[in-house]
């Protein structure tokens, strides 16, 4: 019997050393609950991410209404501004002085500059800040006014007496680069 007692004692010691490392008893319950909580937290995080991405890319009713207003302004000489569009009505004008009703249907502040130029907007001179260099050769600014807050309106008379190409543009940081301009031919 003396030969098997040390072996049994040795096996007992090994089992006691392994016990804290192997899930079992109360340790198994804690491990299962902790794992379940972590899995639920991961699922909630993924769901929140999916909702946030879909919400950011989905147009809201307010933004759709603003775009619709910008695309269909009231009759008369009108300029509608929104992210990142300039819509001038009517599409063609005769030479002369024109009083425009300028509306900001967007959610951010905009400005309206009008240039009489033969330079294609794709090749407008750009300053180091990425915006149009308003004083560059070939750029004749015929109108500039105050910035217009979201929902704001401004009346402005613009001298379009010379036939040719006029570019209506918002030159606030990043707006022109985002395509916020409109080319109008006066003849």
pLDDT digits (tens, 9 = 90+) for 57-84: 445 544 454 444 444 444 479 999 999 9
Give the pLDDT mean for 18-32.
65
Is the predicted pLDDT of residue 179 greater than 70, yes or no?
yes
- Name which residue leads in pLDDT, 7 or 119: 119
pLDDT at 67: 47
Question: Which CATH class, in words, describes the domain spanning 67-186?
Answer: mainly beta
- Whether this prediction's pTM lies above 0.85 is answered by no
H/E stretch holding 92: strand 92-93
Query: Three-state DSSP class for 34?
Result: helix
pLDDT at 69: 44
User: Maximum Cα–Cα distance for the chain, whole Å?
Assistant: 120
Tell me the C-alpha distance between 41 and 37, whole Å: 6
Tell me the C-alpha distance between 103 and 156, whole Å: 11
Is the predicted pLDDT of residue 24 greater than 70, yes or no?
no
Joined tokens for residue 120: 């294609």
pLDDT at 28: 77
pLDDT at 163: 95
Domains of the chain: which residue ranges? 4-57, 67-186
């Amino acid at each position: 019997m003396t030969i098997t007692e040390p072996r049994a004692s040795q096996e007992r010691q090994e089992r006691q050393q392994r016990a804290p490392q192997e899930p079992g008893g109360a340790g198994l319950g804690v491990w299962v609950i902790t794992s379940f909580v972590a899995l639920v937290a991961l699922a909630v995080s993924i769901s929140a991410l999916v909702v946030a991405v879909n919400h950011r890319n989905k147009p809201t009713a307010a933004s759709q209404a603003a775009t619709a207003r910008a695309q269909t302004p009231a009759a008369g000489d009108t300029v509608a501004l929104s992210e990142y569009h300039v819509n001038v009505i009517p599409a063609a004008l005769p030479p002369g002085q024109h009083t425009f009703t300028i509306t900001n249907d967007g959610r951010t502040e905009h400005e309206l500059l009008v240039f009489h130029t033969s330079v294609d907007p794709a090749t407008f001179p750009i300053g180091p800040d990425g915006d149009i260099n308003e004083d560059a050769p070939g750029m004749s600014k015929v109108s500039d006014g105050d910035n217009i807050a979201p929902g704001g309106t401004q009346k402005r008379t613009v001298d379009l007496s010379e036939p040719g190409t006029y570019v209506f543009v918002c030159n606030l940081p990043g707006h022109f680069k985002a395509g916020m301009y409109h080319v109008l031919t006066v003849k």
